[in-house]
Chain A
Amino acid sequence: MHDVPTRRVVITGLGSVSSIGVGTAEFLTGLRSGKSAAKPITAFDTEGFEHAIACEIVDFDPTRWIQNLDVQTLGRASQFSVSAARMAVADAGLGTRELRDAPCLVSIGTTDGESRDLDHLVEAEVRQGPEQMDATIARRVPAGRLSAAIAEEFGLRRVEAVTLPTACAAGNYAIGYGFDAIRSGDVEYALCGGADALCRKTFTGFYRLGTIAPERCQPFDIDRKGILTGEGAGVLMMESLDSALARGARIYAEVLGYGLNCDAHHPVAPNQDSVARCMQLALDNAGVKPAEVDFISAHGTGTKANDVTEASAIRQVFGDERPPRTVSIKSMIGHSMGAASALAAIGCALALTEGFIPPTINHVHTDPECGLDCVPNQAIEADLKVVQNNGLAFGGNNAVVILGKWEQDRTEAPA
């Protein structure tokens, strides 16, 4: 695989639709200040649930971002993904014409696709009969829309648009796919990330599993009570280093490598050895030693099972003595499912550029079984070189991405 020279891959544009801020500048401000998006759910009727707090986006206007498509033809998750892609392209300073003429990849990860629309269709079917299901809404449902709509919005002609349904790790899968596509020279530009919209189905499912926190998400805390569901989209513009330098583009970070595995060990329980193997795969792929990792953006859902398993896997790979600081931005934005690892990757890229580590908020007492420095409650300034972004999904689908600070002198070192 390594007998042909491969291209280096960098991130040159960021698009963020998050519950702590729509727009990357707003998202950055939220991450730095440790903002919480937790509030009572308005997306659907929550009668009958003892508690119903989530991290919903309440100030999102798709027409502010989407220029060509009729927003009525897009479900909420697709509105998020197209808007985030618009932001990423604008941020990268790339003209639509340049994008149209080049071979491109659009890869968007998701957990639920347009399940918000499915909620409504099923409700109509049950209450009023199948003939009352709305045709416009039905046409929005296929999950392929999350990526295809981005290609449509920009009028891309030489594009592979793919939606990756690998659940809560899907954003990292999408970034990994883009990394390969650019590294190998298959495409010039890749718009990669993830999107999901808050929906009743997912809230109810997690509620039934007993994994929804009543008020707040407290990753790695001894009193953690589970996740808060969330929503949003993160899209990253990726291209080769040569392309970015030739354009004079701002480089947020270099994608150093990634790792994927699927253990299919259990429908919902994470497997420590498998998570550890995935992190090692990513480090090996990136050519990075564990000691070089400056912080880990954890999957960190705030459930009993995830946090202790993930922390143990981290110590398995990084050693018990001084594992890297490990933070969970889910404490702020909740679990945005397919968008989670994409928004976290954006967080990592911003951390490298801006020189800070985002905090794990709502933190009171660290669970000794987790035993990690989770940067409690307050962001810290830090000069960072290498960061690791974990995404762990149901079914044992794990995906880990390694990002590095791009520095001029690194490009001059022998490959």
Chain B
Amino acid sequence: MSDKLVQIEHLRQYFPAGGYGKKKKYIQAVDDVSFTIDRGETLGLVGESGCGKTTTGRTLLRLYEPTGGKFIYGDDVIFDVEKKIYADMLPYRKKMQIVFQDPYASLDPRMTIGDIVGEAIDVHKMAANKKERYDIIIEMLQRVGLNSEHANRYPHEFSGGQRQRVGIARALAVRPEFIVCDEPISALDVSIQAQVINMFEDLQAEMGLTYLFIAHDLSVVKHISNRIGVMYLGRMVELADSYTLTTRPLHPYTKSLISAIPIADPKVAKESKRIVLEGDVPSPLNPPSGCRFRTRCPYADERCASEVPEWKEVEKGHFAACHHIDKCN
């Protein structure tokens, strides 16, 4: 068995968006993204809305059919678009799970909490009888800090933080190895966020989970992840361990992203200088040629418009895609 649990190569996900024949248009949601995740590791994925981080997570689980690329899970090929290999997903759903962003929309309002958590147990026939099924449900609820009486209630009786706990219990019910956490805390209040973050960490230690943690809040991602990947308009622009990425970023986009985060410390906030980016993120329907960040980049020149920057290892374990790494550091 290899050390790497998840290996993604040149993942691509295009969504058709109108037009036909030669004029057919595509939203290039994810383009040429490669990364690996080790067993027991947390990889964070950050970026602005529309940068393709959620699409990446969902494509891995085949919630979208991939347009291109290869995904190797452990030793098994989940999909390889070029060779037209697509694995049967059912056995893998037991190993890979997802926690969704919005705990208000992702739970069926007509099902009790017990049934929501128990549905996956039924699908995978993990319980021999009703008693066993009930025991698993209660165990999962207790793991996420809820108790047995909650099993008979409906989602609307819970607060946002509790619902997110239910969403996590649902994902854990099949005892997965790998969980995609898709903005699991952005819908929660500040004082509740810390509770849920701590719970993710505890569960990882107890159950040996591997996470792909997707969020737009870099300070949260930095806190929970071992390594962080930064995405911009469908492409990965930088990847490094979380301390290096937040203290010594190489890519100009990462730099501006970090400097744009408001710091909750008035003295530091007054001293630090913000790099304020001009303009908005271009449309993924018609992304800029070459480097996709060039329209907002202070260092951009002609080469950035004509050549796609290569994804290369600048230092050991520190990847970036930029023509001008020397110039802007």
Partners in one complex: no
Residues of A within 8 A of B (CB): none
